Amino acid sequence: MLERQTLDSLSEFRPPKRGYLSVNVKHLGFVNEILSASISIEKEDLEMVYFKVTQDHLLISCSVDTDEFYLSRNAYFFLNKYLWFYHEKSFEDYYYPDFFDTDNGTSKYLKIASNSKGLTIKLKDPFRNLFKPGVSLPIVPLEKEARTNIFIEPQLSDSLGNETTVIAYCILDPLNLHERYIEEKELTLLVPFTATLNNDKRKFKSLLTYLNSKTISDNLDPNPEQLNLNDICEKMWENSFYFQMKNHKDENYSRTFSERKKLQFDLWKSALPLMINERFISYQWIYGLRYIKGKPTKKDIRFCQVTSDIPQLKFFLIDKGEYYFLDLKFMVNGKLSNFAPIFNMFFFAAAEKEPMKFYLLGSMADAEVVSYFSKISFRLPVLKKHYDIHLKPLVQQIEQTYGVTKR
């Protein structure tokens, strides 16, 4: 990460306080981890700039002036171009350690395309999450933890009329697209709502309203289990960052993200046995909790199932010649499954073949591990030259806690 303060400390050059300085940069090539680019300032001659990103340093040179002690005008304004609107800039897009064949300067892992605007550098699809030394890795627990699984036989009532208002529940899955800081992230939660049914008594005819302590109607007759579940839902809502910000003066709702995660998982464990007897459970991904008001929208919700079975995490280390794949799958009742490919619902697992059947994970530690691997499509590729130093300790801990199958 290059900060504005760091760049300015290395040079006395500065953009003009008034007026505009024309700086044109074009990326020309990326060979053996070195990016070459042309730069022209105002009407001056075209010069070349070269830079390489390592785990700890940004190395830069140019066709004039720059040496190990002096940052030239061209090099300064080249980097300044990246910091034009920002106080800091990551150069991870140019960090590909050992991804090149040093003999011919090409890479089997990268797709480098040249166009009129310069270069596009991307990892090829099979390697899009290829491990880079220095990136964060998941924290694996020293011992395997698991919640207690109490088998519950669902007891679902069929005595429902078409016009009867029923209580249903929706699992809200926040996408967290716009949150800049981890403390602002929202967690998966459950909310109750009311609806009427179609003639088949299986699908909703109309959705009426979200429920909370202020919107409970006298026309409803929730059973004791539903009352208990509704209380848990309200506690989940009060544990959200959205609710915390609306009640920031109340110290009772001032919790860190880590505290909110632990509490939310405990609430899900309490909710699970009560959800098993509920016929109408649905799922909806959301942009933010501020949109959850009034009533749900039919087109946005999907029916789903939540089971009491505990998924067991299963790791596989696959030898592919010059690299390994570290894959994560899960097993339920002896059946091994791939995770659903686009899945980031915290606290839960879902299988590729049954993406709307949800399993509450066995522990918070499991949830953290699954959350990490969900961001890389449940597969971590790693070059063998990086494995022993950077990844082997992690794999050894995974093997001790969960076991690793080697192929």
How are the residues of the chain apportioned to helix, strand and coil, as percentages rounded to the nearest 5? 25, 30, 45
pLDDT (0 to 100) of residue 367: 95
CA distance 55 to 390: 12
Shared domain for 265 and 203, answered yes or no, is yes
Instruction: Tell me the two tokens of residue 82.
Output: 């990246």
Shared domain for 204 and 235, answered yes or no, is yes
Report which DSSP code applies to 355. T
Instruction: Tell me the two tokens of residue 30.
Output: 């990326």
Strand order in the sheet with 302-303: 204-210, 189-197, 166-174, 281-286, 302-303
158: in domain: no
Strand partners, 78: none
220: in domain: yes
Shared domain for 264 and 320, answered yes or no, is no
Q: Do the Cβ atoms of 253 and 234 come closer than 8 Å?
A: no
Q: Which of 291, 307, 323 is the last residue of a domain?
A: 307
Shared domain for 303 and 349, answered yes or no, is no
β-pair type (118-123, 110-115) = antiparallel
Q: Which of 307, 330, 364 is the last residue of a domain?
A: 307
232: in domain: yes
Q: Do the Cβ atoms of 30 and 112 come closer than 8 Å?
A: yes
134: in domain: no
Domain count, the chain: 3
Domain that holds residue 61: 2-127
Shared domain for 357 and 261, answered yes or no, is no
CA distance 376 to 355: 18
Residue spans of beta strands (DSSP E) within 162-303 = 166-174, 189-197, 204-210, 281-286, 302-303
302: in domain: yes
How far is the CA of 349 from the CAs of 191, 343, 376, in angstroms? 19, 8, 15
Shared domain for 303 and 202, answered yes or no, is yes
Shared domain for 28 and 97, answered yes or no, is yes
252 phi-psi bin (left φ>0, alpha ψ -120 to 50, beta other): alpha
Helix (H, G, I), strand (E, B) or coil at 258: helix
- For the chain, give the number of residues: 407
pLDDT (0 to 100) of residue 320: 95
133: in domain: no
Q: What DSSP string runs through 359-379?
A: EE-S-HHHHHHHHHHHTTTTE
Shared domain for 296 and 321, answered yes or no, is no
Shared domain for 245 and 342, answered yes or no, is no
**């399993």: which residue's tokens?**
359
Q: What is the pLDDT of residues 366-385, one digit of tens each?
A: 999 999 999 999 999 999 99
pLDDT (0 to 100) of residue 161: 52
72: in domain: yes
Q: Is 74 exposed, middle or buried (0-12, 13-18, 19+ CB in 10 A)?
A: buried
Q: Which of 72, 102, 127 is the last residue of a domain?
A: 127
pLDDT tens series, the chain, 407 aa: 888 888 888 888 888 887 788 888 889 899 999 999 999 988 888 999 999 999 999 999 999 877 787 888 899 888 988 887 778 888 899 999 999 998 888 999 999 998 777 788 999 998 999 999 999 999 898 888 777 766 555 555 555 555 578 899 999 999 866 556 788 889 999 999 998 888 777 788 888 888 876 666 656 778 899 999 999 999 999 999 988 888 877 777 788 999 999 999 999 999 999 999 899 999 999 888 887 888 888 888 999 999 999 999 999 999 999 999 999 999 999 999 999 988 888 999 999 999 999 999 999 999 999 999 999 999 999 999 999 999 999 999 999 999 999 99
Instruction: Tell me the two tokens of residue 38.
Output: 């042309």
pLDDT (0 to 100) of residue 155: 56
Buried b (16+ CB within 10 A) or exposed e, 288-309: bbeebeeebeeeebeebebbbe
Helix (H, G, I), strand (E, B) or coil at 20: coil
117: in domain: yes
pLDDT (0 to 100) of residue 293: 83
Helix pair angle (364-374, 257-275), 10° resolution:
100
Shared domain for 342 and 402, answered yes or no, is yes
CA distance 334 to 22: 65
CA distance 51 to 54: 10
At 35, phi and psi to the nearest 5? -90, 130
How many CB atoms are closer than 10 A to CB 391? Answer: 20
Instruction: Tell me the two tokens of residue 104.
Output: 């011919």
